[in-house]
Amino acid sequence: NAMLGMLGGGQLGRMFTIAARAMGYRVTVLDPDPESPAGGLADVHLRAAYDDPAALDELAATCAAVTTEFENVPAESLRRLAERTRVSPSADSVSIAQDRIAEKRYIAGAGLAVAPFLAIETAQDLEQDLSGHLPGILKLARLGYDGKGQIRVATVEETQAAFAQLGQKPCVLERRLNLKTEVSVIVARTGPGETTTFPVAENQHEAGILDISIVPARVAPAVAQRARDMALQLAEAMDYRGVLAVEFFVLGGDELVINEIAPRPHNSGHYTLDACINDQFEQQVRTLCGLPPGSTRLLSPVVMVNLLGDIWRDDEPAWDKLLSLPNAKLHLYGKKTARIGRKMGHFNVLGDAVDSTLAQALELKRMLQNP
Report the interface residues with Mg ion, using CB under 5 A.
247, 260
Does 145 show up as a binding residue in the annotation?
Answer: yes
CB 342 within 8 A of CB 319: no
Size of the chain in residues: 371
Per CB under 6 A, does 208 bind ligand ATP? Answer: yes
Count of alpha carbons within 13 Å of 277, Cβ hemisphere only? 7
Spatial distance between the Cα atoms of 280 and 59, rounded to a whole number of angstroms: 23
Does 205 show up as a binding residue in the annotation?
Answer: yes
Judged by CB under 6 A, the residue of 174, 274, 279, 282 near ligand ATP is: 174
Q: Which stretch binds ligand ATP (CB under 6 A): 146-154, 294-302, 311-319, 345-353?
A: 146-154
Does 174 show up as a binding residue in the annotation?
Answer: yes
Beta bridge partners of 137: 152, 174
Q: Which stretch binds ligand ATP (CB under 6 A): 72-80, 141-149, 189-197, 325-333?
A: 141-149
Q: How far apart are the first and last CA of the chain?
A: 45
CB 317 within 8 A of CB 371: yes
* Single-letter code of the amino acid located at 212: I
Q: Which stretch binds ligand ATP (CB under 6 A): 43-51, 174-182, 271-279, 311-319?
A: 174-182
Spatial distance between the Cα atoms of 271 and 218, rounded to a whole number of angstroms: 15
Spatial distance between the Cα atoms of 320 and 328, rounded to a whole number of angstroms: 11
List the helix and strand counts (H, then E) for the chain.
11, 18
Near ligand ATP in 88-117, by CB under 6 A: 115
Residue 279 binding result from ligand ATP, Mg ion, none, given CB thresholds of 5 to 8 Å by partner type: none
**Cβ-based nearer residue to ligand ATP, 115 or 358:** 115
Does 206 show up as a binding residue in the annotation?
Answer: no
Q: Residue ranges for the binding site for ATP?
A: 100, 139, 144-150, 174-177, 182, 205, 259-260
Interface ranges with ligand ATP (CB under 6 A): 115, 137, 139, 144-148, 174, 176-177, 179, 182, 205, 208, 247, 259-260
